Amino acid sequence: MVEYGWVVPIPLTLGVPRRRDAKPLLAGLLNPRCTDIGAARSVVQNDAIGPAVLLDGENGLLSAVSPTSLQPVRFHLDCAGSDLPEVLSTRLAAPLVVFVDSMTPDVTRELATAGHSVGLRLSDPIDNLADCLAVLAHTDVGFVARTDDGAGVVAALAATVAALSGADIRVALRAPDVAALLSLHPDAADAVRQVLLGVEVTDPAAVIEYLVGVGLR
């Protein structure tokens, strides 16, 4: 056994073949925010690019659409706290991710109980993000992060690992350990992707350039 990242023991991977279906940590993680279908079609595809996020002008929902079929795979909704009771009872044809303007651990718990995934803005205060992630680690609904840069993507990954491992989420958000992310066992990477469903970004090319720069691509 070795100590992975934040004092979490995992099996050594040396000499152990990867599963044939093992996916990279960043597989389908990035959700480019696009203004229209044309912009979504023009996104340069690679293994890190997942659903594109499009604004639905009729109902204000953001549709996360498959990069190949452009069919919704989930909906992203921004709402005020006052609208939360209505949102909690909302059911749509695809899973719903909810970004509340005042996300708290209690709201996170309410959304998870209702079966909705949680939207977290990485620009929110770190203490609040950490408390919400601590709740999410004990649910099965997952979350989508929203950030403007590659550093936010790395922080989201590191914080998810910390939440799952019981490590210090605040430290992970402030100073992500890229080496620990690179050393993740394929099973651990799969667990991260089950919780961190995606990261909304406005400029995927710039984000990928950043990820290459820090060694995650």
Report the number of distinct structural domains present in the chain: 1
**Domain assignment of residue 58, yes or no:** yes
Report the pLDDT value the prediction gives residue 4, as an integer from 0 to 100.
38
> What Rg do the C-alpha atoms of the chain give, in angstroms?
17
**Domain assignment of residue 108, yes or no:** yes
Q: Measured between alpha carbons, how far is 90 from 94 in angstroms, rounded to an integer?
A: 11
Our separate counts of H helices and E strands in the chain read 9, 10
**Domain assignment of residue 18, yes or no:** no
**Domain assignment of residue 175, yes or no:** yes
Q: Measured between alpha carbons, how far is 184 from 207 in angstroms, rounded to an integer?
A: 21
**Domain assignment of residue 17, yes or no:** no
* Tokens matching residue 96: 């719903």
Report the pLDDT value the prediction gives residue 200, as an integer from 0 to 100.
97
Report the pLDDT value the prediction gives residue 18, as an integer from 0 to 100.
46
Report the pLDDT value the prediction gives residue 12, as an integer from 0 to 100.
33
Query: How many CA atoms are closer than 13 Å to the CA of 176, on its beta-carbon side?
Result: 22
Which long-range contacts (C-beta less than 8 Å, at least 24 apart) are formed by 188-192?
188/4, 188/10, 188/161, 189/22, 189/23, 189/24, 189/25, 190/22, 190/23, 191/164, 192/25, 192/157, 192/160, 192/161, 192/164
Report the pLDDT value the prediction gives residue 16, as an integer from 0 to 100.
42
Its domain, for residue 170, covers 2-12+24-212
pLDDT by residue, tens only, the chain of 217 residues = 333 344 444 433 333 444 445 688 999 999 999 988 888 888 888 999 999 999 775 666 788 988 777 788 999 999 999 999 999 999 999 999 999 998 999 999 999 999 999 999 999 999 999 999 999 999 999 999 999 999 999 999 999 999 999 999 999 999 999 999 999 999 999 999 999 999 999 999 999 999 999 999 8
**Domain assignment of residue 132, yes or no:** yes
